[in-house]
Structure 1
Amino acid sequence: MHEHSKIDEFFLMHIEGLVQLHKAIEAKPNDKEILAVAKENGFSDKVIASLWNVSEMDVRDVRKSHQLTPVFKMVDTCAAEFESKTPYYYSTYERENESFKTDRPSVLVLGSGPIRIGQGVEFDYATVHAVWAIQQAGYESIIINNNPETVSTDFSMSDKLYFEPLTFEEVMNVIDLEQPEGVVVQFGGQTAINLAEKLANAGVKILGTSLEAMDTAEDRDKFERALKALDVPMPPGKTATSVEEAVAAANTLGYPVLVRPSYVLGGRAMEIVEHEDELRTYMEEAVHVHSEHPVLIDRYFYGKEIEVDAISDGEHVFIPGMMEHIERAGVHSGDSIAVYPPQSLSATTKQEVIDQTVKLARGLDIVGLLNIQFVLYNDKVYVIEVNPRASRTVPFLSKMTGVPMAQIATHVILGKTLKELGYDEVYHTEPDRVAVKAPVFSFAKLRRVDIHLGPEMKSTGEVLGRDLTLEKALYKGLVASGMNIPRKGNVLFTIADKDKDEAIKLAHRFDRLGFQLLATKGTADVLQNEGISVQNVHKIGEGKQDISSIIREGGAQLVINTFTKGKQPARDGFRIRREAVEHEIICLTSMDTAFALLHVLEMMSFATEPVPKLQQATSKEEVHA
């Protein structure tokens, strides 16, 4: 093995020891000595359960019956130079325990764990503010989190910090020791929410929104029934536990459909499907469908997405703000540019969103934070989803409104009412400034990732821009996100057929600003037929000066490429997008983002067009008409 892998023999020896232990565990179910050795070597209850063909709870019961429980050691932040007193603990299967329960009542907050796409540091912001509110309320604050790169894992934040994986076993070990008044799961994203059911079944009190209410929001069938009872419209949808069920559901709903697994964060494995062949491919390759985790299939509405964060005490509802997304529904909310306050929504639409938010918060028995995503389609507001937890937009709205949302929600979770906290209004007064939340992407580092934006989240961060007008706020946000906005040069269009009508409007406006237009043949023909001056460029592989060569040689300062399905177009589109990213050229895959950038350019530039001819007037009335 050493010869083949070049892994040092020291490590191979230890790996071999773990393999032998793995076999010994499997061979001796319920053996106390083997179980003790397994725990000392880091085998989790879940892994042992799979080897013994029992449940995780069964292993936990056996372990506790033999008094096989971990102790907690204080992290030595002083390098043994003098005694460490920081309340920062980790578990180990040794003898001496260094963490002791105090006399104060405590509340345990579950963090969000490792930062990854779909679950970023925004959740840690909410965790920290929750801890502050718990301390203000007179409780001892305890955090479980295992990410050293977050503020919540700074030992000065909480009264006690347990640096532990966010699994059922590790959380229960802390609960067994600390005996908190309850556990808060709302601020740890989907990681914490996914633990709620197991914790509740083990007798742990979940503070805030109940497990039943969370399940109603997360379970498709229960959610549909609840919305029907509340008379809140949503896009028609169905669930499927097999390929044929999915095909039948899509045929009933009508294409396009949005398909996704249940219980996901970050839009993982979510896709907009236009035809039956695409749906069959998705069902067979993208997901493992079965009765416990069905696939959700929704009729896809290509409208404006609206997002709301709200706080409910079970009776009263307070909405700090609503946001509209620049990109239409179909781009994940984490990858969209969000604008607060909304700039294009009518007063009627905003009131409808407010009314539906209040109705949903009360009807679903939400206590604490909730996030709702709506779509505005044909002047009607539909609910896309309700998340009974803090969302990634909580820090953005908190900063832009001055409302400490996570702190207010925590006080509500601990028993206060919104009125007691001084929040009598339903909707917070909107400011006279415009704020923009722009996503940050790391595509240059993620070499094989397609930069095409869709329902699956791909951004790795976000920035804020704020100013008197939308265009100025957008400019600040786009520049802060790393976009080097060109003031002149060439714009390269390669557009899917479904987007060509919008591309005409876009091209006209870029032409007026003095940009030179380049396009592949299909797009160029459409633009030339509209009287727009455009240079035809070769597709990939059609000549020496093909589209990829132009990008590599700096012949385009901006690329607008919308997604075309099908093997060859999809492959060519991927290469075009990757070429642009790797040569630090702005590449936009959403027409809405392109129009937003165009607004910024028009704000920064003077149009280059001739003065119109003076019209002949035959009377004074016509001159002043």
Structure 2
Amino acid sequence: ALTLTDKEYQVMRNASFAILREIGVDTGGSNVQFAINPKNGRMIVIEMNPRVSRSSALASKATGYPIAKVATLLAVGFSLDEIKNDITGTPASFEPVIDYIVTKIPRFTFEKFPGANTTLGTAMKSVGEVMAIGRTFKESIQKALCSLERSLSGFDRVKFEDRNDLVFKIRNANEKRLLYIAQAFREGFSVEELHELCKIDPWFLTQIKEIVDFEEQIDMDILNNKALLRKAKTMGFSDKMIALLVNLKDNLELSQNDIYYARMKQKIIAEFSEVDTCAGEFEALTPYL
């Protein structure tokens, strides 16, 4: 979590151990989920799963650490120092270290449930989720949006009736809230105003605002400006989004293929880094892309 303090992390870690001991979980994978009020540090347990769950699978995929396998071997009598991490060849007692950002976004399909209440709350309404990995939060979240299979190119523009309607859509959680927040920045809202409306941490709002602000730099010149095009790609802008922004500003009809060919001409090629669980500290034997 990018906005957690080390103290908050340690408090949750210790609380998780205390909860597992109180319930009596001696073996197997478990996870405890918390909510923390950043204003006063108040911590609440949302749920505790005394089993390997979807959250465990996400953590394994995000870190490359085989939680289910390690938990199984521990249950039959192995100790952590006897279990080898297949990726690095080091003992499983080494905590995974990551040098990238992982973003998870839920997938909703309210169109399949006519009449359903689309306001999000404590009840689970998602039908799935996507996970994206990037060097920065900006890259990671834009990749995640593109992966939702909702025909998104990133922070796409969304329609609203007037300012009051936009405020309502931001104040009340819904599946397009992130897009409405980005749209609000385009309409001149400040980070402080949006924080008061949605209570999302200002750090995340600032990241989204910087993405929206960078859109103003994208025009026809980006096709011949290697530095600007590279920066757009490192911030997670898809070729399709770059084409849409150029078309919007210069009244053109470029496709994502045009941006792709411009990238190839300037030798701006996508790289695929390996997930090795150790941030390159050890030689990875079987990393995954």
TM-score, normalised relative to structure 1: 0.27
How far the C-alpha of 1:370 sits from its partner, in A, is 0.9
Letter in 1 for 2:35: V
The AA in structure 2 aligned to 1:423 is A
The within-5 A match list for 1:38-437 is 342-366=1-25, 367-377=27-37, 378-421=40-83, 422-425=91-94, 428-437=95-104
Conserved 8 A contact 1:439-1:461 = yes
Letter paired with 2:18: K
CA distance in 2, matches of 1:477, 1:590: 21
Task: Indicate the residue corresponding to 1:461 in structure 2.
Answer: 128
Question: In the TM superposition, what is the alpha-carbon distance from 1:488 to its structure 2 partner?
Answer: 4.9
Q: Which runs of 5+ in 2 are unaligned?
A: 84-90, 173-178, 217-289
Counterpart-to-counterpart distance in 1, 2:119 and 2:184? 25
Distance (Å, rounded) in 2 between the aligned partners of 1:510 and 1:363? 47
Q: Is the 8 A contact 1:433 1:468 kept in 2?
A: yes
Kindly state the Cα deviation for residue 412 of structure 1 after the two structures are TM-superposed.
Answer: 2.0
| Letter aligned with residue 74 of structure 2 | V
CA contact (8 A) 2:80 2:93 kept: yes
State yes or no: 1:449 paired with 2:116.
Answer: yes
CA distance in 1, matches of 2:106, 2:156: 22
Alignment match, 2:214: 606
Displacement of 1:486? 5.0
Q: 1:357-406 CA deviation, whole Å, 9 max, x = no partner?
A: 22223333311111101121211333333221112112211112111111
Does the 8 A contact of 1:487 with 1:601 survive in 2? no
Distance 1:489 1:416 in 2: 54
Q: Partners in 1 of 2:128 and 2:148 — Cα distance?
A: 9
Q: String of CA shifts for 1:19-60, please: whole Å, max 9, x gaps.
A: xxxxxxxxxxxxxxxxxxxxxxxxxxxxxxxxxxxxxxxxxx
Deviations 1:171-221 (A, max 9, x none): xxxxxxxxxxxxxxxxxxxxxxxxxxxxxxxxxxxxxxxxxxxxxxxxxxx
State whether structure 2 residue 123 is matched by structure 1 residue 440: no
> For 2:70, what is the secondary structure of its paired residue?
helix
Counterpart code for 1:371: N
In structure 2, relative to structure 1, the CA distance for the partners of 1:508 and 1:436 (3 Å cut) is closer
Q: Per the alignment, do residues 446 and 598 of structure 1 end up closer, same or farther by CA in structure 2, a change over 3 Å counting?
A: farther
Q: How big is the shift at 1:606?
A: 3.2
1:473 matched to which residue of 2?
140
Q: Distance in 2 between matches of 1:375 and 1:604?
A: 29
Relative to structure 1, the CA distance from residue 383 to residue 445 in structure 2 (aligned partners, 3 Å threshold; closer, same or farther) is closer
Instruction: Provide the C-alpha distance between the structure 2 equivalents of 1:497 and 1:465, rounded to a whole number of angstroms.
Output: 25
SS in 2 for 1:455: coil
Residue identity opposite 1:438 in structure 2 = I
Name structure 1 gaps, 5 residues minimum: 1-341, 501-505, 518-526, 533-559, 561-588, 609-625
Q: Any conservation in 1 of the 2:101–2:134 contact (CA below 8 Å)?
A: yes
Paired letter, 1:482: E
Distance of 2:11 and 2:48 partners within structure 1: 16
The aligned runs of 1:539-558 (5 Å cut-off) are: none
- Aligned letter for 1:408? V
SS of equivalent residue, structure 1 residue 451: coil
- Whether the aligned pair in 1 keeps the contact of 2:106 and 2:127 (CA below 8 Å) is yes
Aligned length: 191
Q: Deviations over 1:477-504 (max 9, x none)?
A: 122113424555754553469949xxxx
Name whichever structure is richer in strand by fraction: 1
Identify if the C-alpha distance between structure 1 residues 606 and 440 changes in structure 2 by more than 3 Å, giving closer, same or farther: same
Task: Give the Cα separation in 1 of the matches to 2:185 and 2:128.
Answer: 34
Change (3 A) 1:355 1:343: same
Q: TM-score of the superposition, structure 2-length normalised?
A: 0.54
| Secondary structure, counterpart of 2:62 in structure 1 | helix
Q: Which stretches of structure 1, 4 residues or more, deviate above 6 A after TM superposition?
A: 506-509
Corresponding residue number in structure 2 for 1:175: none
Tell whether the 8 Å contact from 2:34 to 2:46 is kept in structure 1 after alignment.
Answer: yes
Task: State the identity %.
Answer: 25
Q: Which amino acid aligns with 1:603?
A: I
The CA deviation at 1:466 is 0.7
Assess if the C-alpha contact under 8 Å between 1:394 and 1:405 holds in 2: yes
SS at match of 2:65: coil
Q: Assess if the C-alpha contact under 8 Å between 1:474 and 1:600 holds in 2.
A: no
Distance 2:46 2:181 in 1: 34
For the Cα contact (< 8 Å) 1:510–1:598, is it kept in 2? no
- Which deviations, in whole Å up to 9, do the C-alpha atoms of 1:504-527 show, x marking residues without a partner? xx99985653x489xxxxxxxxx9
RMSD: 4.0
* SS of aligned partner of 1:393: helix
Find the aligned partners of 1:348 and 1:433 in 2 and give their Cα distance: 22
Alpha-carbon offset, residue 468 of structure 1? 0.8
Question: Contact (CA 8 Å) 1:512, 1:607: kept in 2 or not?
Answer: no
1:433 Cα deviation from its structure 2 partner: 0.1
Report 1 or 2 for greater relative contact order, CA contacts < 8 Å, sequence distance ≥ 6.
2
Match of 1:286 in 2: none
Once residues 507 and 442 of structure 1 are traced to their aligned partners in structure 2, the CA distance between those partners, rounded to angstroms, is 18
